[in-house]
Amino acid sequence: MTRYRAATEADLPAICALGQVVNLLHHQAWPQIFAPASAIERDEQHWRQCVEGSGSVVFVAERVGTLVGFVTVAVIKESHSLLQPMQYARVGSICVLEAERGRGVGSELMECAEGWATAQGAIDVRLNVWAFNQSALALYKELGYEVRSLFLGKSLPQNVA
């Protein structure tokens, strides 16, 4: 049975290790953008801010005492003059161990994030997904997410001095 809960500081080593899984996936697709795997301590401060930050939370999926997935979410207050003022949630990262995929873990983690966001007064959830990540795109579509914008990029030639 999988248990879902808010992460604590004690979960940081496991979150860092899972973070390497999601980072490797991105590095393999876009090595010019995403850093390669490294010692898990490299990213500890990043994940610590997600766990301990004001207005943010990390939910973890735990099976038999082992973390098998996590999702980060934060509340954002939109106040740009060109946009409708609102409070929304932004999902930053989600990771499920490959052996656990297809069992509903990602869906449950997103449900945790959405429930928390609603309790915080958010009226919308937003996230960014890279085009190569077809399994994530399929999950988000299944959960009712829709494409609202396309984020484009172009590599520029490097000046070699």
pLDDT, tens digit, for every residue of 32-59? 999 998 888 889 999 999 999 999 999 9
- What is residue 78's predicted lDDT score, i.e. its pLDDT? 87
Predicted TM-score of the model (pTM): 0.91
Q: Could you tell me if 76 and 99 are in contact, meaning their C-beta atoms sit under 8 angstroms apart?
A: no
Average confidence score pLDDT of the chain = 94
- What is residue 40's predicted lDDT score, i.e. its pLDDT? 81
Euclidean distance between CA atoms 149 and 146, whole angstroms: 9
- What is residue 79's predicted lDDT score, i.e. its pLDDT? 86
- What is residue 28's predicted lDDT score, i.e. its pLDDT? 94
Euclidean distance between CA atoms 99 and 139, whole angstroms: 16
- What is residue 39's predicted lDDT score, i.e. its pLDDT? 85
Average the pLDDT over 11-36 and give the result.
93
For residue 47 the two structure tokens come to 């994940």
Share of the chain above pLDDT 90, in %: 86
DSSP annotation of 131 reads T
CATH architecture of 2-142: 3-Layer(aba) Sandwich (3.40)
Beta strands in 51-157 (DSSP E): 56-63, 66-78, 86-96, 125-127
Check pLDDT > 80 for residue 160.
no
Q: Which residues contact 49 (CB under 8 A, 6 or more apart)?
A: 56
- What is residue 158's predicted lDDT score, i.e. its pLDDT? 87
Which DSSP string corresponds to 73-101? EEEEEE--TTS--EEEEEEEEEEE-GGGT
Residue 4 vs residue 155, higher pLDDT: 4
In terms of C-beta distances under 8 Å and separation of at least 24 residues, what long-range contacts does 97-102 make, across chains too? Answer: 97/18, 97/21, 97/68, 97/69, 98/21, 99/68, 100/61, 100/63, 100/68, 100/69, 101/135
Q: How many other C-beta atoms lie within 10 A of the C-beta of residue 51? A: 20
- Domain range summary for the chain, segments of one domain joined by +: 2-142
pLDDT, tens digit, for every residue of 84-132? 888 999 999 999 999 999 999 999 999 999 999 999 999 999 999 999 9
- What is residue 115's predicted lDDT score, i.e. its pLDDT? 98
